[in-house]
Structure 1
Amino acid sequence: MSRRTLLRGAAVGAGAVALPSVLAACSSGPGGVTMGSNASDPVPKKAFAAAFTAYEKKSKKTVRVNTVNHENFQENINRYLQGTPDDVFMWFAGNRMQYFAQKGLLSDISDLWRDFDGFSEALKKQSTGLDGKQYLVPYYYYPWAVFHRKSVFRERGYDIPKTFDQYRALAQQMQKDGLVPFAFGDKDGWPAMGTFDYLNMRANGYDFHIALLRGEKSWNSPQVKQVFDLWRGLLPYHQQGANGRTWQEAAQTLAQKKAGMTVLGLPHPGQQFSAADREDLDFFPFPEIDPAHGQDAVEAPIDGFLMSKKAKDRDGAKELLKFLATPQAEDSYLKSDPNNVAVNSGADTAAYTPLQKKAVQLVSGARQISQFLDRDTRPDFASTVMIQAIQQFLNKPDDIDGLVNDIERQKKQIFSAT
C-alpha cells in the first residue's frame, strides 16, 4: 500500500533514571499524571521537559516523568504494559502501536480525535488500530538518510552520489583519503535496520519490503539474498566492530570528521553535533539501486503518545494528550530539539533550520513512506529474530544462505502463532 500522502499534510505545515531491567512506573499521585518516557538522551529529554512544563503552566497540574533508557524501554515494553504502566507513555505509530492495541493493552482515544485539528487523514490512519479506533497522538517524524558534513565534502571535492555504484565509489575514495567511509554502530540492535530497509526498498521496491516484513514473502528468496550481498560489498567501508559500538559513538566520529558518512535518522547525528557545528550537518537520500524503484521510498518514523489500558488517572491522561496534540505543544518541544519535524500543520515552521526544511521536502516528495523495520513488522519478530540476525551477519557476512534460511524458519514459527 502506497503511503504517498502519509505526511503530506504535516509537510505543508511543516542521562536516564536507573531502573530495573523491567520497566517500573511511578505510582500515580493526586493532581499528577504519570508519563513513561524513553527520551533518555540529553537533547530530547530536555525538549520533552519543556513541553511538559508548558502543560503544567497551562493546566496547573503536574506531569511526573519516569525516564528509562531508550533500548531498555523498547525491550521491556510488553512486560511494562502488562504490569503497572504509567498513565501515558511514549511509543511509535503503525504496526508497533497496532500490535499492543490488539492485545488490549492500550486505551481507545477516539473521542479525543474527534476534536483534534491539524492532523492529516493519513496521520490519523497511522494512529488507528486494526479495529478502526484511534490509540496514538502523533508528535513528530524524522526521515532516515545518509548524513555527512558539508565542509568535508567541500574540502575533499566529493560529489553527492545518486546511484549505488557512485555511493560505493565514494566510499572507496574516502577510505583512500584516510576517512572511515561509514560511521556505524549497532550495539543496541536496531540502528543497522535502517540500512537493511533502504537496501531492500531500493533493490526490490517498497511493496516487496512491506510484504516481507508482514511475513508474506520468503526471507530466503533471491531478492533478500541480493540485499545482504549488496550490504556485504559495503561492509569493508563500515567502521569495524559495529556490534560493540553505540549509534551515539558512531555519530560522534562523523562530528569529529573521522568518518565521512552515516545512515541514521535526523535526530541521531543532530544530537551529537554542537550548536555551533550543526549548520555543517547535511544529508542526501539513500542512492538508487534499481531504476524501477529509484529513490521513491523514504523511511520516516512517527513518534507519539499513548494511554495505557491500566491508566490510573484517566481524566488527567486525556487532558495531557489533548495538550500534546496542539501546535503549541510541538512548538515547545522543537525549540529545544531542532532535529525532528512537527506533524501538526499548525506548528510554527518559521524557526525551522535548513536541515528541518530539507527533511520536510524529502518526506513530502516521497512516493512511499516506511516506518522502520522494527515498526513495520511484529515486535516479537523484530526483537527475537532480526536484531540477532543482523548482528550475526555483521560478524559473519559470508554465510548469507545460512542466515536467510534461519530467518525464514523462525519467521514461519512466529507468524503462524496467534
Structure 2
Amino acid sequence: MKDQFSPAPALFGMPVPRRSLLLGAAALAAAPALAACGDDDNGGGAAGGEVTFGSNEVGSTFAKQRQAAAADFQAKNAGYTVKLNEIDHNTFQENINNYLQGNPDDVFSWFAGYRMRFFARRGLIGDISDVWPLDGVNESFKTASTGDDGKQYFVPQSYYPWAMFYRKSLWTERGYLVPQTFDELVTLAGRMKADGLTPISFADKDGWPAMGTFDILNLRINGYQFHVDLMAGKGSWESAEVRKVFDTWAQFLPLHATDSLGRTWQEAAQALQQKKAGMYLLGTFLLDQFPQDEREDVDLFTFPEIDPTIGADAIDAPIDGFCMSAKPKNEGGAKKLLAYLASPNAAAEASKLGEPFISSNAKADTSAYTTIQKKSAELVGSAKNIAQFLDRDTRPDFASTVIIPAFQEFIKKPGDAPNILKSIENQKKTIFVD
C-alpha cells in the first residue's frame, strides 16, 4: 500500500512535480530524485553563504509562506542566500529515509513528536539545542521538539487543532447547544438525526481521517500518557483499555455518515458546508471547502469529556516546523535560518498570505487572524497535553501498513474488533523491534 498521510494545514492532496529555485535568481532545473540541491563548498558554521532549505510543500499556501520566509530571511541577513528545494508533500514523506541518508538539505520541513524523535535516535537529524530557547515559544512546544536524549532537534512554526466543527447559523436555527460531556454529545447527535441531518459527517477513503476519531476517544478514555505510549509501541492493542475505546467507537459509529470508505474528507466537509450534517471532527483545513463569505459562520468546540477523571484537556494539534540535517554544509547558517523560521517576523510574513496559519510563537501578531484562527489558538493554548495525530505520533510504516487497513476493516465490521485488535498487536510486534 502506498503511504497515506494526514495533510499539513494548507495541503489538499494536489501532487505537483518538484521544482527547485534560488530565491532572487532564475529558477533552477528540477533534479529527478529527492535530494538536496546545494553545492558542497559551504563550510559548516560559515558566516553567511548559501543555506539549502528542503520544503515538503508545492503549490499550497504553506509553499508561498516558505518562499516569503526565505526571501525575508535573505533581506534581513546580508551575506546569506537560501536555496529552496520544493517537493510535494507525500513524495517528501515517502522518501524521507533515503533523503536523510543521502544528501539532505541543511534545513528541511518536518513534524514534531515521535517522527522527529525517531530520526534523532538514529543520528539522521542534527542537535539544535543551542538554538533554544526561542523567544515567544512556550515550554509545551519545546517538549514536542525534544528528543529522547533531552536535546532539541526541531523548531516549531505553526500548528492546527482537530476539533468538532459546526455551522453557527444552523445551530442557532435548531436551538442546538455545545455539549459538555460525551453523553450530551450522543444526545445532541440523536436529536440531529431526528431532525433529518447526518449528525456527524465522516469520511475515510484516504485512510487517515479515522485516526482522528481513534485518537480523541483514546485520549478521552485512557488519557494522554497511555495514548502516546501506545503510539510508541508500548502496551498492548488487545488490552482492556484499547478494547474499551473500540467498544465506545462501535456504539458511536452509527451517528456518523454511512459509506465513509467511499468518501473523501473534502466531500464530508461539503456536507457540513451545505448544512446536511450537524458536526464534523477534523482539522481546520476543512475551511478550504467553504466559500470565504461563509467561513465566519463556522465554529468549533473541543471533543467533550468521557471520563471525568481524565477530562478533556488533551487534543490533537499537529505541529509543523523544521529540522537540521545531521551534517549540514552550512551549520551556522542553518541554525540562523531555523531561529528565524520560529520567530514573530517569519510568522508576520506567513500571515500576509492568508489562512490557514496559526503561529507557534506567542508573540506573533494575530491581528489578521480570522475568528476560527483565534478560537483555534485559544483551544490549543488551554490544552494541557498536545498529541501530534496518530500518523505523526507513531512509526510511518505502522500507521500506513497496519492502522489504515485495520481501521477501515473496523468501520466495515465493528463487531470484528477483537480479531482486528489481535492483528494490530501481532503486526506491531514485528515492526517495533528497536
Tell me the TM-score normalized by structure 2.
0.83
Query: Does the 8 Å contact 2:34/2:95 carry over to 1?
Result: no
Q: CA deviation at 1:316?
A: 4.0
> Residue 251 of structure 2 is aligned with which of 233, 244, 262?
233
Change (3 A) 1:62 1:187: farther
Q: Please say which of residues 306-315 and 290-299 is displaced more in the overlay.
A: 306-315
Q: What are the Cα deviations for residues 304-346 of structure 1, in whole angstroms up to 9, with x where unaligned?
A: 1112235445444333223212211012112324334222232
One-letter amino acid of the counterpart of residue 224, structure 2: Y
Confirm whether residue 384 of structure 1 aligns to residue 401 of structure 2. Answer: yes
Alpha-carbon distance between aligned partners in 1 of 2:331 and 2:33, rounded to the nearest angstrom: 20
Give the 5 Å matches for 1:160-309. 160-266=178-284, 268-309=285-326
Confirm whether residue 53 of structure 1 aligns to residue 63 of structure 2. Answer: no
Aligned to 1:347: 364
> Residue 28 of structure 1 is aligned with which of 25, 35, 38?
38
Q: CA deviation at 1:302?
A: 1.7
Q: CA deviation at 1:97?
A: 0.6
Q: What are the Cα deviations for residues 102-131 of structure 1, in whole angstroms up to 9, with x where unaligned?
A: 1111122223326x3222233223212222
Change (3 A) 1:220 1:367: same
> Residue 396 of structure 1 is aligned with which of 393, 396, 413?
413
Q: CA deviation at 1:82?
A: 2.2
Q: CA deviation at 1:26?
A: 4.9
Alpha-carbon distance between aligned partners in 1 of 2:342 and 2:367, rounded to the nearest angstrom: 19
Q: Please say which of residues 98-107 and 377-386 is displaced more in the overlay.
A: 377-386
Tell me the TM-score normalized by structure 1.
0.86
Q: Partner of 2:209: helix, strand, or coil? A: coil
User: Per chain length, whose mean CA-contact separation is higher, i.e. which structure has more relative contact order (CA < 8 Å, sep 6+)?
Assistant: 1
Alpha-carbon distance between aligned partners in 1 of 2:263 and 2:91, rounded to the nearest angstrom: 16
Aligned to 1:3: none
Structure 1 residue runs of 5 or longer lacking an equivalent are: 1-14
Aligned to 2:109: 90
Give the 5 Å matches for 1:2-41. 15-18=14-17, 24-28=34-38, 33-40=51-58
Q: Partner of 1:341: helix, strand, or coil? A: coil
Aligned to 1:11: none
Q: Partner of 1:399: helix, strand, or coil? A: helix
Q: CA deviation at 1:78?
A: 2.1
Change (3 A) 1:27 1:40: closer
Alpha-carbon distance between aligned partners in 2 of 1:183 and 1:277, rounded to the nearest angstrom: 18
Query: Does the 8 Å contact 1:44/1:337 carry over to 2?
Result: no
Alpha-carbon distance between aligned partners in 1 of 2:225 and 2:150, rounded to the nearest angstrom: 23
Q: Partner of 2:230: helix, strand, or coil? A: helix
Aligned to 1:129: 147
Query: Does the 8 Å contact 1:286/1:295 carry over to 2?
Result: yes
One-letter amino acid of the counterpart of residue 347, structure 1: A
Query: Does the 8 Å contact 2:342/2:360 carry over to 1?
Result: no
Alpha-carbon distance between aligned partners in 2 of 1:17 and 1:335, rounded to the nearest angstrom: 24
Alpha-carbon distance between aligned partners in 2 of 1:128 and 1:194, rounded to the nearest angstrom: 24
Alpha-carbon distance between aligned partners in 2 of 1:322 and 1:176, rounded to the nearest angstrom: 53
Alpha-carbon distance between aligned partners in 2 of 1:139 and 1:328, rounded to the nearest angstrom: 11
Query: Does the 8 Å contact 1:17/1:66 carry over to 2?
Result: no
Alpha-carbon distance between aligned partners in 2 of 1:37 and 1:183, rounded to the nearest angstrom: 32
Query: Does the 8 Å contact 1:43/1:336 carry over to 2?
Result: yes
One-letter amino acid of the counterpart of residue 89, structure 1: F
Alpha-carbon distance between aligned partners in 2 of 1:76 and 1:176, rounded to the nearest angstrom: 48
Q: Please say which of residues 85-94 and 403-412 is displaced more in the overlay.
A: 85-94
One-letter amino acid of the counterpart of residue 75, structure 1: E
Change (3 A) 1:395 1:73: farther
Q: Please say which of residues 68-77 and 301-310 is displaced more in the overlay.
A: 68-77
Aligned to 2:346: 329
Change (3 A) 1:101 1:355: same
Alpha-carbon distance between aligned partners in 2 of 1:283 and 1:251, rounded to the nearest angstrom: 14
Aligned to 1:103: 122
Say what the alpha-carbon RMSD is for the aligned residues: 2.7
Q: What are the Cα deviations for residues 13-43 of structure 1, in whole angstroms up to 9, with x where unaligned?
A: xx442259x9613522596544332335733
Alpha-carbon distance between aligned partners in 1 of 2:102 and 2:413, rounded to the nearest angstrom: 38
One-letter amino acid of the counterpart of residue 336, structure 1: L
Query: Does the 8 Å contact 1:23/1:76 carry over to 2?
Result: no
Aligned to 1:81: 100
Q: What are the Cα deviations for residues 61-118 of structure 1, in whole angstroms up to 9, with x where unaligned?
A: 554444434334333322332233333221111211111011111122223326x322
Query: Does the 8 Å contact 2:351/2:368 carry over to 1?
Result: no
One-letter amino acid of the counterpart of residue 134, structure 1: Q
Structure 2 residue runs of 5 or longer lacking an equivalent are: 1-13, 19-29, 42-48
> Residue 373 of structure 2 is aligned with which of 349, 353, 356?
356
One-letter amino acid of the counterpart of residue 385, structure 1: V
